[in-house]
Structure 1
Amino acid sequence: MSRSHIQSLLDMGGIRINGNQCTAKNTKTALGDVVEVSVPDPVQLKIEAEDIPLDIVYEDDDMLVINKPRGMVVHPAVGNTDGTLVNAIMYHCGDRLSSINGVVRPGIVHRIDKDTSGLLMAAKTDKAHISLSNQLYKHTITRIYTALVQDNIKEDSGTIDLPLGRDPKNRLKKAVNGIGAKNAVTHFKVIERYGEYTLVQCRLETGRTHQIRVHMAYIKHPLVGDPLYGSKKQPFDIKGQMLHAGTIGFIHPTTGKYMEFHRDPPEEFQEILDTLRKEAGLI
């Protein structure tokens, strides 16, 4: 349980010490005290299909490849049950979605952050879901991102091989060598330099939560627009990190053939790049 979850149980009167309701989080306990925690049943989310336009890059009877817009959450959660990619694909596909991830995440094989745009896969059948998940597990999926980072990266390319886990000080963040750290590998290549900024291509060997954001911040080149791992004060009028999942490639679950798809970054991303290119004398 997170500390905030425990605090909410305390506020609801769900914690008792020696039979008496505990009301303060700084209550001291002593040897022999009996602490009882009453955890309510989880709230069952009611997920509704919604007629939300989708940019479908590829679709067949087994799966879809979708170009997710910036600002869209992938799947519902408490407090955010509508307007997600899941709501949209439920409307588009009806009951033709894999059931492996349950009613909250039907068809969802992998995720990208809310403010990251780009390509992701969704499965219509359990067979396709298992095949794509296994490819992710074996790190054979091609996933290439475009990112704008702070400052000038001197190296033309490099590899960041640093395990990631939960940040011990902030449960919303991930950290190098954090709690429960797992191996994480990001390969980067410089595309263009703009003096105070660098455009890079990042290829994921593993796919940990926030991997590119944490890795680039760790080497002192946080993503532009990323308030969680970078500066709170951002230079451009944009909400969230400038990160786009532009290329995805995989073995098709049924045909066994390799397929690869690409989409350029969204318009607002491109406009900022054009401005930087002009200022740097590149166009």
Structure 2
Amino acid sequence: MVSVIYEDENFIGLSKPAGVLVHKTAKNEQEETVADWLVNRYPEVKSVGDAPGVRPGLVHRLDKETSGVLVVARNQNSFKYLKGLFQEHKIIKKYVALVHGKLEGNGVINVPIGLKPGTVKRSVRAKNMKMVKEAVTEYRVLKNFEKSGEFFTLVELIPKTGRTHQLRVHLASIYHPVVGDILYGPKNNSLGMKRQFLHANSLEFVNQEGARLRLEAGLPRELEETLSAL
């Protein structure tokens, strides 16, 4: 389910697979989550965090269908430290995504995101959006592909803010939705992707002792196989 990629007395680095919730929600109370796994493997996190009963040791999260790196605090002091780094935008997160269409060069998407009325979807254009917040995403094109006349682009993404669904919404807003993202993109894709091609491949920060930590998770097999087929 989840694999450990780093641990010390203060932090745990995890690699989360797609299809697993980080913590329970009102709609998914019966599903096994990363939080459940954490409490079983590291019982000390039961009392760590702002809401340890729901999010033990968890300062951030990944969408259910996004795979990749998560960092967890093992004690309350480390939790407060990590939370401060996230709030001050001092944690560098990098993602890789495969998107529809031919995207070229590097760029910045600086467009506020809000909640579309009556739905769980976020948007940059909907009328009467709620909870509108600043959102900034940097992107860098890694490689373009063409298969049977259809174009795809592999991109590196660096979110400068941490809004819900930010990367997915921003990419869809420039008409290059993530392959396999059925909420913001096409319901079907010619590559046969059963999940969205969005992976948090690294997370970097300076710990309390001043040492720089870089946590990395390689692409899951199903994403590697998709790229190999292009």
Please indicate, yes or no, whether the TM-score normalized by the shorter chain is above 0.5.
yes
Residue 137 of structure 1 deviates from its aligned partner by 0.8
* SS of residue matched to 1:186: strand
Aligned residue in 2 for 1:157 = 106
Point out the structure with max Rg over C-alpha: 1
Name the TM-score, length of structure 1 as normaliser: 0.75
Aligned residue in 1 for 2:33 = 84
- The answer as to 2:35 corresponding to 1:67 is no
Q: What is the aligned residue count?
A: 221
* SS of residue matched to 1:227: coil
Name the TM-score, length of structure 2 as normaliser: 0.92
Contact between 2:45 and 2:56, CA under 8 Å: does it hold in 1?
no
Deviations 1:31-80 (A, max 9, x none): xxxxxxxxxxxxxxxxxxxxxx5311111111111000111100012342
Aligned residue in 2 for 1:121 = 71
- The answer as to 2:216 corresponding to 1:266 is no
Which residue type is aligned with residue 72 of structure 1?
Answer: V
* SS of residue matched to 2:222: helix
Greater relative CO (CA pairs within 8 A, separation 6+): 2
Q: Give % identity.
A: 36
Query: Which aligned segments of 4 or more residues in structure 1 are displaced greater than 3 angstroms?
Result: none
Which residue type is aligned with residue 262 of structure 1?
Answer: E
Aligned residue in 2 for 1:5 = none
Contact between 2:179 and 2:193, CA under 8 Å: does it hold in 1?
no
Q: Which runs of 5 or more residues in structure 2 are unaligned? A: none
| Stretch deviating more after TM superposition (76-85 or 57-66) | 76-85
- The answer as to 2:150 corresponding to 1:200 is no
* SS of residue matched to 2:153: strand
RMSD across aligned positions (CA): 1.4
Contact between 1:248 and 1:260, CA under 8 Å: does it hold in 2?
yes
| Stretch deviating more after TM superposition (69-78 or 79-88) | 79-88
Cα distance in 2, alignment partners of residues 146 and 190 from structure 1: 10
Cα distance in 1, alignment partners of residues 190 and 84 from structure 2: 40
* SS of residue matched to 1:187: strand
- The answer as to 2:183 corresponding to 1:228 is yes
* SS of residue matched to 1:216: helix
Residue 256 of structure 1 deviates from its aligned partner by 2.4
* SS of residue matched to 1:194: strand
Higher strand share: 2
Matches within 5 A, 1:127-276: 127-153=77-103, 155-168=104-117, 170-176=118-124, 178-195=129-146, 196-252=151-207, 254-276=208-230
Contact between 2:203 and 2:214, CA under 8 Å: does it hold in 1?
yes
Which residue type is aligned with residue 112 of structure 1?
Answer: L
* SS of residue matched to 2:214: strand
Contact between 1:162 and 1:215, CA under 8 Å: does it hold in 2?
yes
Contact between 1:115 and 1:239, CA under 8 Å: does it hold in 2?
no
Contact between 1:100 and 1:126, CA under 8 Å: does it hold in 2?
no
Q: Which runs of 5 or more residues in structure 1 are unaligned? A: 1-52, 277-283
